[in-house]
Amino acid sequence: MSHLDHIPSTPGKFKIDKSPYTYNRVRWTSSLAKLTFWSFVFIGLIFLFFYRSPSSSANPSQSDLSRRSLRSSWGGSAWEKRVRASARIRSRNGFSVLVTGAAGFVGTHISAALKRRGDGVLGLDNFNHYYDPSLKRARQALLERTGVYIVEGDINDVALLKKLFELVQFTHVMHLAAQAGVRYAMENPSSYVHSNIAGFVSLLEVCKNANPQPAIVWASSSSVYGLNTKVPFSEKDRTDQPASLYAATKKAGEEIAHTYNYIYGLSLTGLRFFTVYGPWGRPDMAYFFFTRDILKGKSIPIFEAANHGTVARDFTYIDDIVKGCLVSLDTAEKSTGSGGKKKGPAQLRVFNLGNTSPVPVTDLVGILERLLKVKAKRNIMKLPRNGDVQFTHANISSAQRELGYKPTTDLQTGLKKFVRWYLSYYHAGDKKADA
Ligand SMILES: O=C(O)[C@H]1O[C@H](OP(=O)(O)OP(=O)(O)OC[C@H]2O[C@@H](n3ccc(=O)[nH]c3=O)[C@H](O)[C@@H]2O)[C@H](O)[C@@H](O)[C@@H]1O
């Protein structure tokens, strides 16, 4: 046996002599050289990972986040060209808007609407696996056909955000990237902190340093009203009793927005969306998976409150939400700061965007049964203590007064459009409708 046979095959390891107390000096020295070499390689890889690591996923687990971030990449001249082309304004007085969460339900609709009217739109999305990513890819393909490019990355990736602001002078940011869903917060609390708090702060940090600073419109949630019992919910009502971690992170977002407005002069508008539904919707939401399960003949859990109390939502159709978002962007005043310094007071707004007519969940199921022509297998159960509240109802007088916001789609009409889309998307192409 030559001494080469003693050189370990596994990097970073060296063989100890038969006797645990003595070792061969030659073997040790060559092993040490190997060890040093492989340590450098290893440290180099770690350095590369942290230096270049762009996106991570908001959802499943932190280890998933890191794993996925390794796979994502951005940069290069072709990439920069695509970014600039997508964000190029094509109408007089148009905006250049960065839409975060662009492959999401609301993000897709808003990106398409902005592009249609001639604004420059650049999307950003981490394509996480909270729900079927193939639906997000299909939305991406849809947007690509209209000329909207979605950068694949995470809002926590400050280097990426900085790069985007270097390439494009965004006039506005439509911030929709978030960990959504009320009930999932009990399963994966850290994903809510990661996206809705840390991610929001990282975005605001980059916006505040940008020159010029963009105006920001972002998605808060009706869930901030939490245990508030005064109806309909007005922006003046208390929001200090969240019933879920999701709601708490959205409420935290509103306070964080106040801080960045106060210190840095960022123009910020928070929109409290009320249970948004429609074509290209989210498979984790009740109207969506009820449709899927009714068609499959599976029973659906329908929540009711104590003493058979009605559980209801102010379901709001996506087109009404899009209108509310666009007019929020149009009426957003410029941020006042520059170079991270505030120059004067800036606009800070919060609006309810709801439909103003709550519908019991049982009625939602009745409408779906009629549209699908299938009887649902109803499994009535007690509202679990998982963050769901019994009732939501928006008072929209403030949005009406200041934005001219006026929802026009009732649940029956909106669900009809959703069902038509659902059937053509899943049944015509025979795609799997698993959330
Ligand atoms: O308005 C909002 O701010 C929130 O609206 C929805 O949350 P939610 O209203 O709970 O929407 P769904 O999860 O679709 O639930 C709709 C209704 O169906 C009920 N439900 C849900 C699930 C189920 O299995 N059974 C059931 O009866 C819920 O209690 C609720 O009353 C979204 O999921 C949140 O991301 C959003 O922020």
Is 51 a catalytic site residue? no
Per-residue confidence at 32, pLDDT binned at 50, 70, 90? low
Tokens of 33: 């050289």
The minimum-distance atom of ligand 1 relative to the CA of 312 is 31
Helices and strands counted in the chain (H then E): 14, 13
Phi/psi of residue 98, nearest 5 degrees: -90, 120
Q: Is 273 in the pocket of ligand 1 (CB under 6 A)?
A: yes
Given a cut of 70, is residue 323 above it in pLDDT?
yes
Least confident interval from 16-30, 285-299, 310-324, 370-384: 16-30
Residue 60, helix vs strand vs coil: coil
Burial 214-224 (b: 16+ CB within 10 A, else e): bbbbbbbbbbb
Calculate how far, in angstroms, residue 350's C-alpha sits from the geometric centre of ligand 1: 21
Identify each DSSP E strand in 47-114 by its residue range: 96-100
The candidate with the shortest Cα–Cα distance to 107, out of 219, 201, 267, is 219
Distance from the alpha carbon of residue 328 to the mean position of ligand 1, in angstroms: 25
Among protein residues, the one with the nearest Cα to ligand 1's atom 8 is 275
Q: Does residue 223's CB lie within 6 angstroms of at least one atom of ligand 1?
A: yes
Pocket lining: 181 vs ligand 1, CB cutoff 6 Å: yes
pTM of the predicted structure, to 2 decimals = 0.86
Q: Which of 314, 313, 301, 315 is nearest to 383 (CA)?
A: 301
Residues 90 and 302: beta-carbon distance below 8 Å: no
pLDDT digits (tens, 9 = 90+) for 209-250: 999 999 999 999 999 999 999 999 999 999 999 999 999 999
Secondary structure (3-state) at 377: strand
Q: Is the pLDDT reported for residue 45 higher than 80?
A: no
DSSP alpha helix (H) spans, 221-282: 245-264
CB 224 within 8 A of CB 243: no
Quick one: DSSP state of residue 373? Answer: T
Answer whether 99's CB lies under 8 Å from 331's CB: no
221 lines ligand 1 (CB under 6 A): yes
Quote the CA–CA distance of 82 and 85 in Å, as a whole number.
5
CA of 259 to the centre of ligand 1 (A): 30
Distance 371 CA to ligand 1 centre (A): 20
Judge if the beta carbon of residue 394 lies within 6 A of ligand 1: no
Report the C-alpha dihedral over residues 100, 204, 325, 423, rounded to 10 degrees.
20
Domain boundaries, the chain: 178-434
Residue with tokens 């109408």: 91
Q: Is 274 in the pocket of ligand 1 (CB under 6 A)?
A: yes
Q: Which one from 246, 264, 405, 422 is the annotated catalytic residue?
A: 246
**CATH number for the domain formed by residue range(s) 178-434:** 3.40.50.720
For residue 435, how far is its CA from the centre of ligand 1 (angstroms)? 15
First CA to last CA across the chain, in angstroms?
60
Confidence at 197, pLDDT banded by 50, 70, 90: very high
Confidence grade of residue 40 (pLDDT, cut at 50, 70, 90): low
Indicate the top mutation candidate among 182, 367, 381 to test ligand 1's pocket, ranked by most ligand atoms within 8 A of CB: 182
Query: How does DSSP assign 167-197, residue by residue?
Result: H---SEEEE------SGGGGT-HHHHIIIII
Q: Whose CA is nearest to atom 37 of ligand 1?
A: 221
pLDDT at 50 over 90: no
pLDDT at 386: 87
